Amino acid sequence: MKILIDTNVLISAALFPHSTPAQAFWKGNTYPFQAVICEQNLDEMKRIFTREFSDKLPALESFIYNSLLSIEIVDTPERPVKEEKLIRDMMDRPILRSAIVSDVDIILTGDKDFLESGIDRPRMMTPSDFMFVHSSFKI
The 10s digit of each residue's pLDDT in 44-66 is 888 998 899 888 888 888 888 88
Say if residue 138's pLDDT is above 80: no
139 occurs within a structural domain = no
The CATH number of the domain holding residue 39 is 3.40.50.1010
42 occurs within a structural domain = yes
Spatial separation of the C-alpha atoms in residues 108 and 21, rounded to whole Å = 9
> Could you tell me the residue range of the domain that residue 91 belongs to?
2-133
103 occurs within a structural domain = yes
Q: Output the pLDDT for position 136.
A: 64
138 occurs within a structural domain = no
Spatial separation of the C-alpha atoms in residues 42 and 5, rounded to whole Å = 11
In the chain, what are the helix, strand and coil shares in percent, each to the nearest 5?
50, 15, 35
Q: Output the pLDDT for position 60.
A: 80
- Which residue from 61, 47, 55, 73 is spatially nearest to 14, judged by alpha carbons? 61
pLDDT tens digit sequence for 64-101 = 888 878 899 998 888 989 999 999 999 899 999 999 99
Contact criterion met (CB below 8 Å) for 104 and 89: no
Contact criterion met (CB below 8 Å) for 11 and 52: no
Residues near 103 by Cβ (< 8 Å), separated by ≥ 6? 2
* β-sheet with 34-38: strand ranges across: 72-74, 34-38, 2-5, 106-108, 123-125
Domain count, the chain: 1
118 conformational bin, left if phi > 0, alpha if psi -120 to 50, beta if neither? left
Q: Output the pLDDT for position 63.
A: 82
Contact criterion met (CB below 8 Å) for 60 and 49: yes
41 occurs within a structural domain = yes
